[in-house]
Structure formats: structure tokens, C-alpha cells
Amino acid sequence: MKLDIKIIGTFCNTWPNLIVELNDEKIHDHTIEGEQSISMEVNNLIEKNNKIFIGMNNKSFGRNRIWDTETHNNVIKNDKTIQVLSIKLNGVECKDLFDNKFYVKRSDKQPTYFPDVVESVDTMNYNGYFAFSFDLPLYNSLISKKFKKEADSNVSYFSNYTKVFHYDGEKKIINKIKKHLRDIDEKFSNKRP
């Protein structure tokens, strides 16, 4: 599977460090200077629940008196960040699968009352990560994750657009028919010419 990432790193004291993990295996760990594109083939995939984490891990919040955010009159002048412009799996944009959730990993003098999850579309302002998961076959999983909506049982069947991509009921019926056909085949297989 091909993984393509486009990102922008911003400088404050040092450049940010990007970490990318797939299924708990670190596949990228490098400094990001300005705008960069990363492209790689990944192979450590499993059938269900592949997990991608993309994050930053070197922002200082007071360690050795270094703060990687510079402010003046409560306005941020410089900040160490990483912005994800694009993340694609086999050419399919997946940034929307982050669900605008950035998971913060507190460090140094970051307050304990700081939230564990902050809303962010694509920017890492703290140490932490964006994450999403997918199954194989890849395209089926991505279509389902990107377009399947929760089914609304309060809407009539014929006008219920939320039923799109919900095939669980049909799959049960098909599997039941297949089982009946196998049973019939086993029962009458010795009576055929």
C-alpha cells in the first residue's frame, strides 16, 4: 500500500519532529523543515483494524526553560507546529478520517487540567497525534468510513438516504440462502446422475 503525506513544519527554537506509526510500528521519525512530501510503501497490514498515527513529539513546554511557543502581548509570534496538508492511502485522501480530533500527550510543564483531546482539523500545536483506522480490502473500508452514515430508523425506507452503504441485513439474507443451498446440496448430492 502506498502512503503519501504532505506537511508543513513551522520553526520555533528547532524544527518539529514528525512520527508516523502503522500498527504500532514506527515507519517515519524525522524533522520537518517547511513544506515536505513523504511517500512510502507500507506492508505490515492486517485484515482488520489497521491503525495509523501521525504526530509530533519534540515540542518543549518549559523543559530547561525552553518554550517552543513565543508570544508578545498574548499574541503568538512563533510556534512549533506541523500542519497536515494531505494524507493519502493508495491515492485516496484520508485526512477527513481524523474526525477533527488531536490526541494530546502532555509533556514538561503542560498543565494537568489541559484536555487529552483537542479539536483540530489538521494542525498539531502540541505533542500528540492524529489517528484513524482502516480494514482490508482498503477501498471498501475507505468508502464505508468516508460515506456510510448512521442509519436513521425514524425515516421511511424509501426516503432514507442513511441506508446507503448499510448492507448488513442483505448480507444476512444472502448467507442464509447460501447455507440452505449447501444443506440441499449435501442432502441430495448422492441422488444425482
- pLDDT, one tens digit per residue, over 35-66 is 999 999 999 999 999 999 999 999 988 778 88
Contact 102, 131 (CB under 8 A): no
AA identity, residue 58? N
Average of per-residue pLDDT across 158-178: 72
**Dist. CA 86–CA 141, nearest whole Å:** 19
Give the chain's domain count: 2
The whole-model pTM stands at: 0.75
Return the DSSP state at 12.
Answer: B
Q: Is residue 152 part of a domain?
A: no
Rounded Cα distance, 16 and 124, in Å = 10
Residue 159 predicted with pLDDT over 60: no
Mark whether 138 and 168 lie in a shared domain.
Answer: no
Do residue 86 and residue 167 come from a single domain?
A: no
**Average of per-residue pLDDT values in the chain:** 88
Mean per-residue pLDDT, 129-154 = 86
Which one-letter DSSP state was computed for residue 71? Answer: E
Domain enclosing residue 181, as ranges: 157-191
What pLDDT is stored for residue 139 in this prediction? 94
- Identify whether residues 143 and 59 lie together within a single domain: yes
